[in-house]
Homo-oligomer: A and B are copies of this chain.
């Protein structure tokens, strides 16, 4: 038997509780503010937009929040996810580093997003909500919520960033197969969408615009609540199943990471892999470096300001304390991957501002080069988003080689890229840039 390269858990190892970093941060999390009063948003007000269960989680400082058994049962459709050591990539890089990846692409939607979509749909169901509205960029979140809503028999209404709606029809079709209704955003469904389209007839859309539409949809349809796929505390919370499983799996591998890496758009997939390791750093004196990686064309954490800002373009959300490029930021349409949000999760931002995590930005051509190398050594074609983490993992491994020292690297391969192959084709043809 040669070296073990995969470390599998079984159903009983799916975490029974989510880990809430708000319990362990050295300074309290800044609260979300009401834009009018500049005071913390009261839970009752948040419950007009979000389901009660997730509002409680959004404001909680309990360290462990029990996962409802029906949620755990649905997660078992694809969890625990595999953790693998990428020996072929290590060989190609000729590095003394050991590179491990946690692979979230085995979910029905092909990414980590259902980890939060499932509890969000479940809490909505518990609160008697009949319909959820949301937005989606490339479609990873929208397809995940469509799936979760179907499993709990809730209507799902998705505003999809217009450029993706037109360029990536497959994820739209997946949402429809799971029974969701999908609108290209800006749409004619909302007053904001109609106005924005009239003022910007050639717009490619943006996540900020689509969020405004989904929030307006929620406010104007009784019995509807809004669901967000990243950024907020409860979403980051739900994703901690990733890091908790990875901790167990690294025990099976007999190593502990020197660095843990995740790509960061809204921040939830990074939070998911990193926060359980951050807890070890904060409470048990571990020294793992935690590295968030973003695209240089949407560099909220590396180039943004840390301040209160709106979550959307129409300024309808509470104010969130976060690294932001401004709520009206529009990423260049040429940018192929997701990770297009103007702000960064308040929890991730808070840890970054305290110097507890690192950040780095990469241009998309170097990210696709890393993605292609990964596909050609490890087999899996990674999502463009996840490939930012791959690029950083490769650079860490090359740095270890330069130093001539071992380094244990763990990164989150948050999804596969089978529905992003048009971007790969553009890369192979040399028509991607930036």
| Chain A residues close to B by CB (< 8 Å) | 1-2, 4-12, 69, 73-74, 76-78, 80, 84, 88, 106-108, 110, 114, 147, 150-151, 169-170, 173-174, 176-179, 372, 375-381, 416, 418-419, 421-422, 424-425, 428
Contacts and interface: CB of A to CB of B under 8 A. Distances in A.
A425 B173 contact: yes
Contacts of A428: 176-177
Given A173-B422, A177-B421, A151 B88 contact: yes
A179 B376 contact: yes
A6 B11 contact: yes
Contact of A110 (B88, B173, B418): B418
Nearest to A109: B379
Q: How many copies, total? A: 2
Given A5-B11, A107-B379, A173-B424, 10 more contacts: A2-B73, A7-B11, A76-B84, A114-B379, A151-B379, A173-B422, A173-B425, A176-B428, A177-B381, A178-B375
A108 B380 contact: yes
29 contacts: A4-B11, A5-B73, A5-B76, A6-B10, A6-B77, A8-B8, A8-B80, A74-B379, A77-B84, A77-B378, A88-B151, A108-B375, A108-B381, A110-B418, A147-B379, A150-B376, A151-B377, A151-B379, A170-B170, A170-B421, A170-B422, A177-B372, A177-B375, A177-B381, A177-B425, A177-B428, A178-B375, A179-B376, A419-B419
A421 B173 contact: yes
A406 to B, nearest CB: 21
Given A77-B379, A106-B106, A174 B419 contact: no
Contacts of A378: 77
Nearest to A150: B376
A4 to B, nearest CB: 6
A182 to B, nearest CB: 12
Contacts of A376: 150, 178-179
Contacts of A150: 376
A8 B11 contact: yes
Q: Which of A7, A12, A151 has the most CB of B within 10 A?
A: A151
